Amino acid sequence: MRILIINGPNLNLLGTREPEIYGTVSMADYLEKLETEFSDDEISYYQSNIEGEIINRLQEDNFDALIINPGAYTHYSYAIADCLKNIPQPKVEVHISNIYKREEFRQKSVTAANTDAVLSGFGMNGYKLALLSLKR
């Protein structure tokens, strides 16, 4: 299975950014573990701080399943939400922190309605849980 993982703005700083919220593991280190554990699958990773670049990558449509953490775009990007709506492949939205225990503006996701599931608050393991659910 070809699985695309997309991370939005500021998630390039995982491992160093607000470790009390996001932990100390970098995405590169975590991806290495995922690729080892799911060696039968092809895992592609893309991160951008730019909304249009995320949409362009989603529209390339060269994946069987999608895991997306839109970052702050979760709360206001109707452009990404519309793009997700037009993707027929299975897709899971992931949030490292529990967005419902954070600031009020972070508690709304405009993108979630256009995904098949949302995982929030499982730390980096949310990506693994999403991957497992997509493989069922």
**2-135 adopts what CATH topology?**
Rossmann fold (3.40.50)
Ligand-binding annotation for 106, yes or no, is yes
> For residue range 56-75, what is the model confidence (pLDDT) as tens digits?
999 998 999 999 999 999 99
> For residue range 96-124, what is the model confidence (pLDDT) as tens digits?
988 877 767 776 899 999 999 999 999 99
C-alpha distance from residue 56 to each of 22, 77, 111 (Å): 26, 14, 16
Q: Where on the phi/psi map is residue 71: left (φ > 0), alpha (ψ -120 to 50), or beta?
A: left
Q: Model's pTM, two decimal places?
A: 0.93
* 5: Cα within 13 Å, side-chain hemisphere: 23
Determine whether 22 is an active site residue. yes
Determine whether 100 is an active site residue. no
CB atoms under 10 Å from CB of 97, counted, come to 18
Q: What's the average model confidence in pLDDT over 29-50?
A: 97
Ligand-binding annotation for 17, yes or no, is no
Q: Which of 22, 30, 73, 127 is catalytic?
A: 22
Domain ranges of the chain: 2-135
